[in-house]
């Protein structure tokens, strides 16, 4: 037996409000220069679904903000682990836009969402250190890597890492890309404990591309020039992100496997950030090509984008929780299984880690 960093519990919060694609039929979509599109919304939405496979997405209730979703997911993870919240050493929240009240565009970042989540969870122990990680959609995985450093460095023994976001509050209703984004939260408990050698987190990688890629995702005013130009709404260069991701994410995933000393043939599941289905499939296929292998992504890569949308930092931990507890889409993990986690997003950041159950 050797000290290992293992997952002892997971939890998630899938928001209750279901928004189908038909909800966007009456939207006034505009191009970046403010001109309307020639195609009717029926055609725009059909093309959107064919590319992303998104048919519906989940939004938080009007009375909920990101901290509420995060607290729910975090509490479920603690209950799954059988932990008392007061015994935590570390509470890390991956997020990007803070707390945004329904009907508002104000992004509240102080105090941190981690502090707000800790407050919502009723944790009184001041030794539970709480802070946020802002790294785009890879925020939860980056939080896991930070927690690993704390745990391996002897600064913590028990860590709760949460990813929570309410992207529906910060999208431009005149932008077609607004249909991609959604809300949610996922969480996992990580503990430094004696375990079989070669289990837990066994490899990792992280890179940041900023020379030409820093502003592929950024905050800008609405595509509607008549609206407030001081508004800051999520905007992305979809084609550039797609090309960037399929070119660079497979290499980062391979780097994590190399760091772990693991071949792709040993990987049972890939928990990939749910950006859009076309991108995820392309990344998966290119990863397998690096190893000269034929990809069977349906068997290896669980997907939630079709009914949950892109909930940013929440997608990976939510997928993990559903697979662990629900045999989601027939996917499951068992003792000894090697899994690969990976994400890409604003920064542009890419990260990954390898875990053996």
pLDDT of 19-44, one tens digit each?
Answer: 999 999 999 999 998 899 989 999 99
Q: Over 90: is that where the pLDDT of 2 sits?
A: no
Residue 124 pLDDT level (bands cut at 50, 70, 90): very high
Residue 333 pLDDT level (bands cut at 50, 70, 90): very high
pLDDT of 104-120, one tens digit each?
Answer: 888 999 999 999 999 99
Residue 26 CA from chain centroid, whole number: 29
> What percent of the chain has pLDDT above 70?
100
Residue 326 pLDDT level (bands cut at 50, 70, 90): confident
pLDDT of 197-207, one tens digit each?
Answer: 889 999 999 99
State the pLDDT at residue 331.
96
Task: Give all domains of the chain, ordered by start, each with its CATH number.
Answer: 2-195 (3.40.47.10), 200-356 (3.40.47.10)
pTM (predicted TM-score): 0.95
């Amino acid at each position: 037996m050797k000290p290992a960093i293992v997952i002892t519990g997971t939890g998630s919060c899938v928001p209750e409000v279901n928004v189908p694609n038909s909800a966007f039929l009456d939207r006034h979509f505009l191009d970046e220069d403010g001109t309307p599109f020639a195609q009717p919304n029926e055609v725009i939405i059909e093309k959107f679904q064919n590319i992303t496979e998104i048919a519906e997405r989940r939004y938080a209730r009007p009375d909920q903000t990101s901290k509420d979703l995060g607290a729910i997911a975090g509490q479920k993870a603690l209950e799954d682990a059988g932990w008392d919240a007061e015994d935590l050493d570390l509470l890390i929240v991956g997020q990007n836009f803070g707390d945004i009240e329904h009907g508002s565009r104000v992004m509240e970042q102080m105090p941190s969402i981690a502090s707000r989540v800790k407050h919502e969870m009723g944790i009184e122990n001041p030794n539970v250190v709480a802070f946020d990680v802002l790294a785009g959609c890879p925020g939860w995985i980056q939080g896991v890597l930070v927690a690993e450093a704390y745990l391996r460095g002897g600064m913590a023994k028990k860590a709760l890492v949460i990813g929570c976001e309410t992207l529906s509050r910060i999208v431009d209703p005149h932008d077609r890309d607004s249909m991609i984004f959604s809300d949610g939260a996922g969480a996992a408990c990580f503990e430094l404990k004696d375990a079989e050698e070669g289990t837990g987190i066994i490899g990792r990688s992280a890179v940041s591309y900023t020379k030409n890629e820093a502003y592929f995702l950024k905050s800008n005013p609405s595509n509607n020039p008549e609206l407030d130009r001081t508004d800051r709404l999520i905007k992305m260069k979809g084609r550039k992100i797609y090309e960037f991701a399929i070119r660079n994410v497979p290499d980062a995933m391979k780097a994590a496997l190399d760091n772990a000393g693991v071949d792709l043939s040993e990987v049972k599941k890939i928990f990939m950030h749910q950006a859009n289905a076309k991108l995820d499939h392309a990344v998966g296929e290119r990863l397998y090509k690096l190893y000269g292998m034929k990809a069977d992504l349906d068997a290896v890569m669980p997907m939630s984008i079709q009914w949950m949308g892109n909930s940013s930092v929440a997608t990976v931990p939510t997928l993990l929780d559903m697979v662990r507890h629900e045999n989601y889409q027939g996917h499951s993990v068992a003792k000894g299984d090697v899994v690969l986690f990976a994400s890409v997003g604003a920064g542009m950041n890419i990260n990954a880690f390898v875990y053996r159950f």
